[in-house]
Amino acid sequence: MAALKDILYKVSLQSVSGNMETEVTSLAFDSRKVQDGTAFVAVKGTQVDGHEFISSSIESGAAAIICEEMPQDQPEGVAFIQVQDSSKALGFMAANFYGNPSEKLKLVGVTGTNGKTTCVTLLHQLFRALGYNTGLLSTVVNKINEEELPATHTTPDAITLNETLAQMVSKGCTHCFMESSSHAIVQNRIAGLKYQGAVFTNLSHEHLDYHKTFDEYIKAKKLLFDNLPAGSFALVNYDDKRGPIMLQNTKAWKHKFALKSFADYKAKILSNTLQGLELDISGYTVWFKLIGDFNAYNLLAVFGTAVLLGEEETEVLEQLSNLDPAPGRFEQVITNTGITALVDYAHTPDALENVLSTIKEFRTGNETVITVVGCGGNRDKDKRPIMAKIACDLSDKVILTSDNPRFEEPGDILKDMQAGITPSNFRKTLTIEDRREAIKAACAMAQPNDIILVAGKGHETYQEIKGVRNDFDDRKVLSEMLNLIHKPN
C-alpha cells in the first residue's frame, strides 16, 4: 500500500483531479484485476484501448484512474490523473509501488535478435557458480536462484516485472540478468528500471510484423542504450554493423566484444566440433561445451559482462567452461541409433543460417543433413521464403512443416515458405503440415551417421493452434521417432 502521490514520482503529469493522498493497494492495467483501492492505468495497446474500461474499473472499486484522455464522468472519491503516455507512466508507477527494486541489485539487460536467452542463461548459471544469489528473466524460464517461476513473455509486463524483481531483492539477490525484447522496450515495459548495464548481441530480420520497418526495429533496440544512466556499461558486438549504432547516444561506458574487429574483449576460435568450442579468449585457451561460431560470440558477451561487473577473468573462464547451453539451443537428442539429432530454437533467417553453417563446419560430407523447419503464424511473413531458401541451400533434404500456426492456416504459411524454393531445390524438399509426421518422416529418411535438425521451437513444450496450446516437445518427439524407427544399437 502506498500514497498515490508517492507512486507517481517521476511521472510527468498533465492534469490532476482528486486526492493525491489516496491510498493505493494495487496496480492494474487489466480491468479484470481491479479491486478496492486499485490504481487503474488505461493503456492504449495494440489490440485493446484501456480507456474503454475506465467505467468498469471504477465500478470494481478503483481508487485512482491514470489515463491519457480524461473521461467526462468523474465520480467523487476517485482520483483522476492525466499523463502523456500511460504505458510509460505504468512503468514508473510499478517501480515506485514495489520500492524501486532495480536500484537494489545489479540489473543487466541483453537485447538483440539472436543469443539473448543463451547469454542470460549462462550469466545466471555463471553468477550462481560464483556464489551469488541471482535472478533470471528469460524466454525459457524466470528464476530466483534455482526456484523456477513461469515465463509467459520474453519480458514481463511492468507490474509483473517489478513485482518479480522485488521478490528477488527480498530473497537476497544481488544480480538479475534479463532478456530485453524490442517489444518490451517500445511498449515501455522496462520504463522506470535502473540498469547496471546492457548487452547487444546482433541484429537481423525479425519482428517486422510489429515494427514494420528494419529501421524501426533498430531504433527499438537502440532505445535501451540511449536510456542507460551514466556510470552503467554498454557492451556491444562490434562485428555486427549495428553495434556502433547502439553506442551513438548512450551515456554509459562504452565497451566492445568481437571475433574479427578490434575490441575490448576478443576471442579466436581454435576448434569447433560437436563436442564443443575451444577458444583463445583474452589470452587464455579454454574449452567450452557450447557449439558454433554464434556461441563464441555469446560466450564472449558473457565473459565481458562478468568482467565489467567486477569478476576476475580466470575465475569467470573456469566457471564458464563447465556450463551447459540453454535448453533447446543446439541441443543434442541423445539416442543409440548412430544418427546425430539436434533441436534448435532458430526461428529467424540469421539463426537458421548460423545453425546450419555450424553443422556444415563439423560434417565430413559423407552424411545427409535433413532439416525440419516451419514458420510461426501471425508473425513477420517476409522471412518465410528466406528461411525456406536457407534451409534448402544448406541442407541435403528439407521438410517444411508447421511451427506455431496460431490463428493462421498452416497451409498458407507453408505456401509462403515454398515461394523461397528455387527450381534446383524442389527435389530435395517435402511439405508435411503435421509437425509430428514431419519429424517422423525425417527419422525414416535418416541412416546412421546422418544429421537431423529440427528447427524453430527449441525449448518450447507446446504447439499453438487456433489459440490453443497443445503439448508438443520437439526433443521428445524426435527421440521417440528415432527409437521407434531405428532400434538402438
Digit-coded pLDDT (tens) for 62-110:
999 999 999 999 999 999 999 999 999 999 999 999 999 999 999 999 9
- Grid cell of 79 as nine digits: 482520483
Q: How do residues 341-398 score in pLDDT, each as one tens digit? A: 999 999 889 889 989 998 998 888 889 999 999 999 998 899 999 999 999 999 999 9
The pLDDT-based confidence of 433 (bands split at 50, 70, 90) is very high
52 Cβ contact partners less than 8 Å away, ≥ 6 residues apart: none
The pLDDT-based confidence of 320 (bands split at 50, 70, 90) is very high
Mean pLDDT of the chain: 92
Please check the confidence at residue 159 and state whether its pLDDT lies above 80.
yes
Q: 3-state class of 301 per DSSP?
A: helix
Q: Report the pLDDT value the prediction gives residue 448, as an integer from 0 to 100.
A: 93
Of 149 and 268, the one with more pLDDT: 268
Q: Report the pLDDT value the prediction gives residue 154, as an integer from 0 to 100.
A: 52
The pLDDT-based confidence of 155 (bands split at 50, 70, 90) is low
Q: Report the pLDDT value the prediction gives residue 214, as an integer from 0 to 100.
A: 62
For 134, list phi and psi in degrees, rounded to 5: -140, 140
Q: Report the pLDDT value the prediction gives residue 417, as an integer from 0 to 100.
A: 97
The pLDDT-based confidence of 210 (bands split at 50, 70, 90) is very low
Q: How do residues 375-386 score in pLDDT, each as one tens digit? A: 999 988 999 999
- Grid cell of 237 as nine digits: 558486438
Q: Report the pLDDT value the prediction gives residue 390, as an integer from 0 to 100.
A: 96
The pLDDT-based confidence of 5 (bands split at 50, 70, 90) is very high
Q: Report the pLDDT value the prediction gives residue 153, as an integer from 0 to 100.
A: 57
For 434, list phi and psi in degrees, rounded to 5: -75, 120
Q: In what order do the strands lie in the sheet with 38-41?
A: 13-17, 79-83, 64-67, 38-41, 26-28
Please tell me the pTM assigned to this model.
0.84
DSSP character string of 425-439: GGGGEEE-SSHHHHH
Q: Report the pLDDT value the prediction gives residue 488, as an integer from 0 to 100.
A: 61
| Beta pairing class for 340-344 and 331-333 | antiparallel
Q: pLDDT > 90: what percent of the chain?
A: 80
Please check the confidence at residue 209 and state whether its pLDDT lies above 50.
no
The pLDDT-based confidence of 149 (bands split at 50, 70, 90) is confident
Q: Report the pLDDT value the prediction gives residue 208, as an integer from 0 to 100.
A: 44
